[in-house]
Amino acid sequence: MAGIKPDPDLLEVQVSESGLVSGIPSSFDPWEKRNEFFRRDATDFPGLLRFLNSVGLFEKAGQSYKFETMSSILVPDTRGAHHRIEYPEQITAKHIWEMRRLLERALKDRSEIGEYADFEVRLVRIKGQPRVVLTTTTFLEALFLTLTVDRVQAAKVQKCARPDCGVTFAVSSRHERKYCDRYCAHIESVRRDRERKKQLLQSSKGKGKL
């Protein structure tokens, strides 16, 4: 939903002319997307555009920033119900990275972010069990929800063990985790494997000389 404007830092938010976000809402794990967002290189502008297109609208108008022009749109949820949201027509990459810094700090400092985050709530019974359904319509809102859930669950906050990643992530399960996600765990296992092979090769060479 973003395109490039002459100003390399400015993103123009584009949606369909009917004022409706079309199609079936795509789903993603907001924790995985948060790690992906935190890992992004702030100098990679095309990469940021690709990422934004995978998460939908970044934020609602007036949520954290004074935007010049606003538009409104209907966003469908998984039930097919529509939510009207106002969004800024333009947003800067600088603002997005500022929001990232803020969120990372909130996670590290264990801020009581729930004090400031309101969500749309639905109370339902699923398979005879009472359930609370929280609806988020923008990526920023989904990020606030992950931070709030991590906070109320007293999730353990740690740093990814891949040295060139270092992303701050949270673990709420009892499982030990060293890496922010499978991507980093895989890279590190490939590196360890390569290192092992190199050492094996070196020791066999050493033996050959003797």
Nearer to Zn ion, 13 or 180 (CB): 180
Q: Tell me how far apart the alpha carbons of residues 23 and 29 are, in angstroms, rounded to a whole number.
A: 19
Give least dist CB 31 to Zn ion, A.
Answer: 13
Write the single-letter amino acid at 206.
Answer: G
184 lies in the site for Zn ion, by CB under 5 A: yes
- Residues that contact Zn ion, how many (by CB under 5 A): 6
Please report how close the Cβ of residue 192 comes to Zn ion at its closest, in angstroms.
15
| 165: contact with Zn ion by CB under 5 A | yes
Q: Token match 């290192």: residue?
A: 195
**Among 180, 202, 204, 205, which residue sits at the site for Zn ion (rule: CB under 5 A)?**
180
Residue with Cβ nearer Zn ion (85 or 155):
155
Query: Between residues 12 and 188, which has the closer beta carbon with respect to Zn ion?
Result: 188
**Which run of H or E residues covers position 51?**
helix 45-55
Alpha-carbon distance of 4 to 45, in angstroms, equals: 9
Distance in Å, CB of 108 to Zn ion, minimum = 15
Between CA 38 and CA 32 the distance in angstroms is 10
Among 160, 193, 194, 201, binds Zn ion (CB under 5 A): 160
d(CA 140, CA 48): 14
